[in-house]
């Protein structure tokens, strides 16, 4: 039987096509048009924030958030070593210094104790990343931020729909940043959003993302801004996708349960754990093997059987622009990277596909160990 199994492919269809046609027929294909504010309001309502400002990408959202908070040269920003590079690059865009912290070995998210250890007089902000959809220990992070007078910018690009003690991720810090890249929980083809409970900050973020244009004075630009606006075409796709969000989340949860039920009995495979009070959206279900498993070899063998996988992010301190920033131990980040594997989690897959993936993994590991 020929089976298509997808790692993180988007699930878009007829509803998206219909709204896209509407956008095209209306002539509003670019950054002006009714779908953009509608999409922003839907997201803000879903997350329970005061408002939302859409952007061209999650990276742009992080950049605007840092810039709007006035973070710049001479400042330090605490980031996890174990994340996608887009969390870190915006810190350099604004001229600040990223300070890398290690991960908690259970949740794979920033370890609050390590955050505390790395705070200096120059620290201005923390960017916790809800990695693969799993919420960070936000009580501990917000407590550190309050005690040291730091901003918190949640990188919620992977965690749309995840909850922490009743709140949605993204709604807890000074800013939350979302991504609608093609592989995310919902997509707009490419896009992002900053959300916040501070209306004045959001107003300023919107102004910055729109070339810092003071529209009351025509083409008047009192500050340096960016062209980071989302298009009406993207928002059209997003509006169709948000209708499907609850269904996508349900599927991802079910896939995660199947993986856990089928693979947990092997003593040498473990899963990312949720912190107390946290509910992951399971954007990607990922596992770690014990040290004996050759991950690239496992990937090749799974690929031969039609099962796509991807490795965990290489810790950012391994890349040339950030090598000099490696201070202290980042043991857990490297250990998770070296032993980890992300499994097919696209909502295009069926439960049967997920069982098939488990069967293939089980066969491979049993053969390797016999």
Ligand X SMILES: Cc1ncc(COP(=O)(O)O)c(C=O)c1O
User: What residues line the site for ligand X (CB under 6 A)?
Assistant: 57-59, 83-84, 86-87, 129, 155, 157-158, 179, 181, 192
Residue 67 DSSP SS3: helix
Least distance from ligand X to the Cβ atom of residue 352, Å = 28
- CA contacts within 13 A on the Cβ side of 348: 16
Least distance from ligand X to the Cβ atom of residue 66, Å = 12
Closer to ligand X by CB, 129 or 281: give it: 129
Distances (CA, A) of 93 to 311, 324, 341: 27, 17, 30
Closer to ligand X by CB, 183 or 305: give it: 183
Least distance from ligand X to the Cβ atom of residue 54, Å = 12
Q: Are 71 and 94 in contact (CB under 8 A)?
A: yes
- Catalytic choice (17, 121, 124, 184): 184
Q: Are 135 and 88 in contact (CB under 8 A)?
A: no
Report CA 123 to chain centroid distance, whole Å.
23
Closer to ligand X by CB, 54 or 59: give it: 59
Closer to ligand X by CB, 127 or 202: give it: 127
Q: Distance between CA atoms of 100 and 110, rounded to whole angstroms?
A: 9
**Is 184 considered catalytic here?**
yes
Q: Are 159 and 130 in contact (CB under 8 A)?
A: yes
Q: Distance between CA atoms of 156 and 162, rounded to whole angstroms?
A: 9
Q: Measured at CB, which residue is nearest to ligand X? A: 58
In this structure, what is the dihedral angle of CA atoms 356, 360, 363, 364, given to the nearest 10 degrees?
-170
Least distance from ligand X to the Cβ atom of residue 314, Å = 13
Q: Which residues are catalytic?
A: 184
């Amino acid at each position: 039987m020929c089976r298509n199994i997808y790692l993180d492919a988007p699930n878009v269809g007829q509803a998206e096509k219909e709204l896209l046609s509407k956008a095209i027929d209306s002539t509003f294909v670019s950054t002006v048009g009714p779908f953009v504010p509608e999409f922003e309001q839907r997201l803000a309502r879903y997350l329970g924030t005061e408002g939302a400002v859409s952007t061209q990408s999650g990276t742009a959202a992080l950049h605007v958030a840092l810039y709007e908070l006035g973070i710049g040269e001479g400042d330090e920003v605490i980031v996890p070593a174990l994340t996608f590079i887009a969390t870190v690059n915006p810190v350099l865009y604004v001229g600040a210094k990223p300070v890398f912290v290690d991960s908690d070995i259970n949740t794979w998210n920033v370890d609050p104790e390590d955050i505390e250890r790395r705070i200096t007089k120059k620290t201005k902000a923390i960017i916790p990343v809800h990695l693969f959809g799993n919420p960070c220990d936000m009580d501990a992070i917000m407590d550190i931020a309050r005690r040291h007078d730091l901003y918190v910018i949640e990188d919620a690009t992977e965690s749309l729909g995840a909850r922490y003690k009743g709140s949605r991720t993204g709604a807890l810090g000074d800013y939350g940043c979302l991504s609608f890249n093609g592989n995310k929980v919902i997509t707009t083809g490419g896009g992002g959003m900053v959300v916040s409970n501070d209306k004045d900050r959001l107003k300023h973020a919107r102004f910055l993302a729109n070339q810092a244009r003071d529209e009351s004075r025509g083409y008047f630009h009192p500050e340096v801004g960016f062209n980071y606006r989302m298009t009406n075409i993207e928002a059209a796709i997003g509006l169709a996708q948000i209708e499907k969000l609850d269904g996508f989340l349900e599927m991802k949860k079910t896939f995660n349960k199947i993986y856990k039920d089928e693979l947990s009995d092997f003593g040498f495979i473990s899963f990312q754990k949720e912190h107390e009070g946290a509910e992951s959206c399971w954007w990607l279900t990922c596992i770690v093997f014990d040290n004996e498993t050759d991950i690239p070899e496992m990937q090749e063998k799974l690929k031969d059987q039609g099962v796509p996988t991807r490795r965990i992010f290489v810790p950012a301190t391994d890349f040339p622009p950030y090598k000099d920033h490696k201070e202290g131990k980042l043991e857990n980040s490297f250990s998770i990277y070296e032993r980890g594997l992300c499994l097919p989690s696209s909502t295009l897959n069926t439960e049967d596909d997920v069982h098939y993936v488990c069967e293939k993994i089980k066969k491979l590991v049993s053969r390797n160990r016999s």
